[in-house]
């Protein structure tokens, strides 16, 4: 029964809001079942159909639960889709945008927020209060207290909140806030954001009585607030990362100038440097007729707020230099047409291994096998090892960031993660590993660009090493995997990831109807693979990895693992169980002995083969060596088509005798 008539929300939307607020500590334990896993036998269950208290034996609607919590749901507003110009790609993105809207409305504003915001911006960041007090008064800067009502051990920490505004294609700005960023004064230095419907943070001029027609764009909020007193007439645009500079192309107009003060990064990979993206956007804005200037600090890794804390802000300002023009690396001019290059001109590239002998850095690899053979367990085991840097079953691991495109078994991801943590004694809480919010179509150009943008955002925060696509079919957009053109587009998307970010891409894929013929789909994929690993499992036996292709090295020996059950526990070591006391479990991989392969049975000879043996022996007794092919056929009185079938059988081995111009026939048992 829907609650929409009472609250304006659909059941799913109301559930999303409750899980974002008073029940944010609840965890998904089933397809549509959320519970407090910090309790040994959690009794309260939330779902899109309502709530149910298993201990009390009663339940009700979600709107009743909200009222019992003294939550006024009316200010949340009806759950309409007018916030987005296009339908959200999946329910999770919609839910996170709803969470952003809820937290933004819940945050303290004005006098309630002033002391807490001052404690961070002035007490820690040393920004003068006059640089941001107007933003507190107008509610552009807010403060979100810790969630004291949470009964979980991990309460949401307090944070300063600022909004991202959605920029329409025509440059207009939506008023609704559907994406926010949280800045925490202590604890994890990463600044999480919620929501997907937002691009930029826009701050009004410090002196609103005398504004000029110019935007000043910079990456971080603290830097923008530090510089506001230097440029009191300008509107500030906070991009919250270099990858969002491109949204200035929507916002800027020919009559409005743009000043970009970019970060001066010194990453080894050019695509990770803020000044390079600033130069690209400057060129594009100038092509649109916009007067754009891009500056950067002369000294790398020295931003405005860092200079302020060193009492060198004026010096920092005087040392700003113009960002040089972006130029694509000049390609060496080669003579036209085909040519040869001496081997001596090429230098050996020492391979860097990501996981021992198993995965090489910057390559395209594939795990494939039948359903229920343990492919995802292997992929997750590798991903968790890379994220934490711990050895993978004795193989050395190069630690780095991991992105996991999760397309199957989403409900079991948490359980598998928790089982791995318990079995390995490693925590993934602070590990640089993220999973996707849903599936995407990597054969679609627009989807590919969106994915690359999201990866660029992550690459700013951590050095990425591994991207896992689980599975190929779930990220293929429902298209025909046998079509070479479709598969080539998919492979192109993976190559773009590898080349731009230097990551290893690991695919999880299925076999076709005939497992002996390898992974299903077009051969264009297998041709592009650097590494192919077959995953097999018979009955409830071990999971066996067989390296069926290793492009530039010796294939590794087969490996075997047993799937071992682990009783799940919460962070305090308390076992989790269902209402009947049965423990929640998942599995981890533990090394096992590789099963011995049984010898192949010899093929049974047919009547034609038996006749061939007899005639062949007769010809040899007559002194014919090598035996004439035509003599055997005539002795058998066999028609040409049947003769060809016999010659094509695996039972006959033929070699050609050049000297005597005939085929030598050899039979073997």
Position 74 scores a pLDDT of 42
d(CA 108, CA 69) in angstroms, rounded, equals 20
Say what the pLDDT of residue 164 is: 92
Same domain, 397 and 269: no
For the chain, how many structural domains are there in total?
Answer: 4
Pick from 112, 219, 215: which is nearest to 171 by CA? 215
Q: Which residue has the tokens 């803020």?
A: 274
What is the per-residue pLDDT for 86? 36
- Tell me, yes or no, whether 47 and 106 share the same domain: no
What residues form DSSP beta bridges with 118?
Answer: none
189 and 254 inside one domain: yes
Residue 392 inside a domain? The answer is yes
Cα 74 to Cα 668: distance, rounded to the nearest angstrom? 85
Of 80, 77, 61, which is closest to residue 69 (Cα–Cα)?
61
Tokens for 571, please give them. 């962070």
- Cα dist. 609→114, 616, 621 in Å? 94, 10, 18
Q: Please give the C-alpha separations between residue 447 and each of 79, 153, 179, 443, 533, in angstroms, as whole numbers.
A: 26, 38, 20, 8, 28
pLDDT computed for residue 148 by the predictor: 61
Is residue 337 one of the residues assigned to a domain? no
Q: Exposure of 239 by Cβ count < 10 A (0-12 exposed, 13-18 middle, 19+ buried)?
A: buried
Output the six-digit token pair for 516: 């002996």
d(CA 274, CA 260): 11
Q: Which residues of 642-665 are buried (b: 16+ CB within 10 A; e: fewer)?
A: ebeebeeeebbeeeeeeeeebbeb
**Residues 479 and 505 placed together within one structural domain of the fold:** yes
Q: Is 345 inside any structural domain?
A: no
CA max distance for the chain: 115
Same structural domain, 625 and 568: no
534, 560, 592: which is the final residue of a domain? Answer: 592
Query: Strand, coil or helix: what is 268?
Result: coil
Last residue of a domain, one of 547, 567, 592: 592
Q: In what order do the strands lie in the sheet with 235-238?
A: 201-203, 235-238, 214-218, 257-261, 292-297, 320-322
**CATH code, 414:** 3.40.50.300
* 331 in any annotated domain: no
Whether residues 171 and 69 fall in one domain: no
Which residues neighbour 37 within 8 Å (Cβ) at sequence distance 6 or greater? 26, 27, 29, 570, 576
Long-range Cβ contacts of 241-245 (<8 Å, 24+ apart)? 241/457, 241/460, 242/273, 242/274, 242/277, 242/278, 242/460, 243/277, 243/453, 243/456, 243/457, 243/460, 244/199, 244/200, 245/217, 245/277, 245/278, 245/281
- pLDDT value at residue 5: 41
| pLDDT value for 67 | 62
Does residue 598 lie in a domain region? no
Q: What DSSP element (H or E) covers 468?
A: strand 464-470
Domain that holds residue 291: 96-322
105 and 191, same domain (yes or no): yes
Structural domain contains residue 340: no
Contacts of 434 (CB under 8 A, 6+ apart): 401, 402, 403, 404, 458
How many other C-beta atoms can be found within 10 angstroms of the C-beta atom of residue 463?
16
For the chain (669 residues), the mean pLDDT of every run of 10, in chain order, is 46 71 68 66 77 78 66 40 36 65 90 94 95 94 78 66 88 87 66 77 92 92 95 93 86 90 75 80 91 92 93 94 74 60 70 90 93 92 93 91 82 86 88 88 86 89 92 86 88 89 93 77 89 92 93 89 91 82 90 78 64 76 69 76 63 48 47
Within a domain: residue 136?
Answer: yes
Q: How far is CA 416 from CA 28, 199, 271, 421, in A?
A: 13, 34, 34, 9
Long-range contacts of 601-607 (CB under 8 A, 24+ apart): 602/669, 603/650, 603/651, 605/651
Q: Are 544 and 595 in contact (CB under 8 A)?
A: yes
Output the pLDDT for position 467. 96
Calpha distance 470→452 (Å, rounded): 17
Shared domain for 233 and 359, answered yes or no, is: no
CA angle 366, 590, 529 (to 5 degrees): 10
């Amino acid at each position: 029964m829907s609650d929409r008539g009472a609250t304006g929300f659909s059941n799913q939307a109301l559930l999303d809001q409750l899980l974002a607020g008073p029940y944010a500590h609840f965890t998904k334990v089933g397809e549509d079942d959320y519970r407090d896993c910090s309790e040994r036998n959690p009794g309260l269950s939330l779902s899109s159909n309502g709530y149910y208290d298993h201990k009390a034996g009663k339940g009700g609607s979600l709107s009743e639960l909200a009222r019992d919590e003294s939550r006024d749901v009316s200010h949340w507003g009806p759950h309409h889709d007018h916030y987005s110009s296009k339908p959200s790609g999946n329910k999770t993105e919609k839910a996170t945008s709803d969470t952003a809207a809820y937290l933004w409305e819940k945050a303290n504003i004005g006098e309630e927020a002033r002391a807490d915001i001052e404690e961070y911006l002035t007490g820690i960041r040393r920004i003068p209060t006059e640089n941001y007090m107007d933003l507190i008064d107008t509610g552009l800067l807010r403060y979100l207290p810790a969630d004291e009502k949470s009964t979980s051990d991990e309460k949401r920490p307090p944070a300063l909140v600022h909004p991202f505004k959605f920029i329409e294609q025509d440059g207009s700005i939506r008023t609704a806030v559907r994406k926010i960023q949280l800045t925490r004064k202590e604890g994890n230095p990463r600044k999480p954001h919620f929501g997907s419907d937002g691009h930029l943070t826009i701050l009004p001029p410090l002196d609103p009585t005398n504004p000029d027609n110019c935007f000043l764009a910079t990456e971080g909020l603290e830097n923008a607030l530090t510089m506001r007193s230097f440029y009191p007439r300008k509107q500030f645009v906070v991009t919250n990362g270099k990858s969002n500079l491109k949204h200035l192309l929507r916002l800027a107009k020919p009559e409005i100038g743009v000043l970009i003060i970019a970060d001066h990064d010194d990453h080894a990979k050019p695509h990770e440097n803020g000044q390079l993206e600033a130069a690209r956007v400057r060129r594009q804005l100038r092509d649109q007729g916009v007067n754009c200037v891009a500056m950067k600090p002369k000294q790398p890794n020295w931003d405005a707020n860092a200079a302020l804390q060193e009492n060198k802000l004026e010096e920092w300002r005087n040392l700003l230099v113009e960002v040089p023009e972006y130029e694509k690396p000049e390609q060496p001019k080669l003579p036209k047409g085909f040519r040869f290059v001496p081997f001596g001109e090429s230098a050996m590239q020492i391979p860097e291994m990501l996981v021992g002998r198993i995965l090489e850095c910057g390559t395209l690899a594939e795990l494939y096998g039948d359903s229920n053979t343990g492919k995802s367990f292997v992929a997750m085991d590798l991903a968790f090892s890379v994220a934490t840097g711990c050895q993978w079953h004795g193989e050395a691991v190069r630690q780095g960031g991991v992105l996991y495109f999760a397309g199957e078994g989403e409900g079991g991801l948490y359980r598998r993660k928790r089982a791995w943590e318990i079995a390995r004694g490693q925590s993934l809480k602070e590990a640089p590993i993220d999973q996707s919010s849903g599936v995407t179509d990597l054969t679609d150009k627009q989807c590919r660009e969106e994915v690359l943008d999201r990866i660029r955002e992550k690459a700013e925060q951590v050095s990425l090493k591994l991207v896992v696509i689980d599975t190929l079919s779930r990220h293929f957009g429902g298209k025909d995997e046998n079509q070479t053109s479709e598969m080539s587009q998919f492979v192109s998307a993976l190559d773009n990831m590898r080349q731009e970010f230097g990551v290893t891409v690991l695919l999880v894929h299925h076999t076709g109807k005939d497992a002996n013929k390898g992974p299903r789909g077009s051969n264009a994929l297998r041709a592009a693979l650097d590494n192919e690993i077959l995953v097999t499992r018979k009955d409830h036996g071990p999971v066996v990895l067989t390296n069926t292709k290793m492009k530039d090295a010796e294939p590794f020996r087969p490996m075997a693992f047993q799937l071992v059950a682990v009783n799940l526990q919460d962070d305090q070591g308390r076992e989790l169980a269902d209402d009947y006391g049965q423990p929640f479990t998942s599995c981890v991989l533990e090394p096992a002995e590789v099963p011995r392969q049984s010898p192949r049975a010899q093929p049974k000879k047919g009547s034609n083969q038996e006749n061939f043996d007899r005639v062949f022996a007769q010809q040899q007794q007559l002194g014919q060596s090598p035996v004439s092919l035509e003599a055997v056929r005539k002795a058998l009185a066999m028609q040409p088509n049947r003769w060809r079938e016999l010659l094509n059988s695996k039972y006959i081995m033929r070699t050609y005798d050049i000297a005597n111009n005939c085929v030598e026939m050899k039979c073997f048992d």
